Homo-oligomer: A and B are copies of this chain.
Amino acid sequence: MVSRLDASFAALSDPTRRGVLEQLGRSDASITDLAEKFHMTLTGMKKHVGVLEQAGLVITQKVGRVRTCKLGRLTLEEEAAWIERHRRMWAERFDELDLVVEELKQKEKADGRKRKE
């Protein structure tokens, strides 16, 4: 089973797909518009939009012969929370490391002083 986070992070790992999301943040667009804008074949753009749609980041609607793309319901909240948790953990680990380095420095100083006495 592919989880929500798997699909969304994979969808975000491509510069064209990130560009499409930025574009749709400004205004809805047809697949043809997007293909032109990103200098891509219709088939190529359809694939990218398919990946974004699967991840819930984009929804598409066909009216007549035109398929319009707009931002989907996925607000990337869970993704933001995961990254934030990781960043906090990272900071804590490196704070710990700083402490260890600081203690080593203090010890070195103390040892130096003892040697001088």
Residues of A within 8 A of B (CB): 3, 5-7, 9-10, 12-15, 18, 21-22, 25-26, 71, 75-77, 79-80, 82-84, 86-87, 89-93
Contacts and interface: CB of A to CB of B under 8 A. Distances in A.
Contacts of A84: 80
A73 B31 CA distance: 39
A83 B57 CA distance: 12
Contacts of A14: 6
A92 B7 CA distance: 24
Nearest to A7: B13
Contacts of A82: 12, 18
A79 B13 CA distance: 10
Contact of A25 (B22, B75, B93): B93
Contact of A86 (B6, B25, B86, B89): B25
The 7 nearest A-B residue pairs measured at CB: A25-B89, A9-B13, A10-B13, A9-B12, A80-B83, A76-B83, A9-B9
A90 B25 contact: yes
A90 B77 contact: no
